[in-house]
Amino acid sequence: MSDSISFDDFLKVDVRVGRITRVEAFPEARKPALRLWIDFGPDIGEKRSSAQITAHYTPEQLVGREVLAVVNFPPRQIGPVRSEVLVLGLPDENGEVVLVGPDFPVPIGGRLH
């Protein structure tokens, strides 16, 4: 079991829904990855990220897809890419990432409750 956090700690994590608008290969990454541009609506705008999701997704499959991401972590430099958000996913039985997103249409930029 993992360490406990308070509910107030949980509320500090800002998880929002965004729509992937652009995807490019990331050949400089140590492990296969893609560069993502994600629109979080007018309040947050477009943010960039990189994700090791090539086992299940092609760039063409991702454009227009809604995903959940943490938007209030500090940016991280990953090689030549400045990752501004952390896209959320779960490992499948082989440890490959499956993205997390809403089952039904929701407003872009909406916060996880």
pLDDT for residue 3: 86
Q: Which CATH superfamily is domain 7-99 in?
A: Nucleic acid-binding proteins (2.40.50.140)
Confidence of residue 32 (pLDDT cuts 50, 70, 90): confident
Q: Is 1 a residue whose pLDDT tops 80?
A: no
The 10s digit of each residue's pLDDT in 52-107 is 999 999 999 999 999 999 999 999 998 888 999 999 999 999 999 999 999 999 99
Domain map (residue ranges) of the chain? 7-99
Are 35 and 24 in contact, with CB atoms under 8 Å apart? yes
Structure tokens at 47: 């943010």
pTM, entire model: 0.92
Q: Within 13 Å and on the Cβ side, how many CA atoms surround 94? A: 5
Contact 15, 68 (CB under 8 A): yes
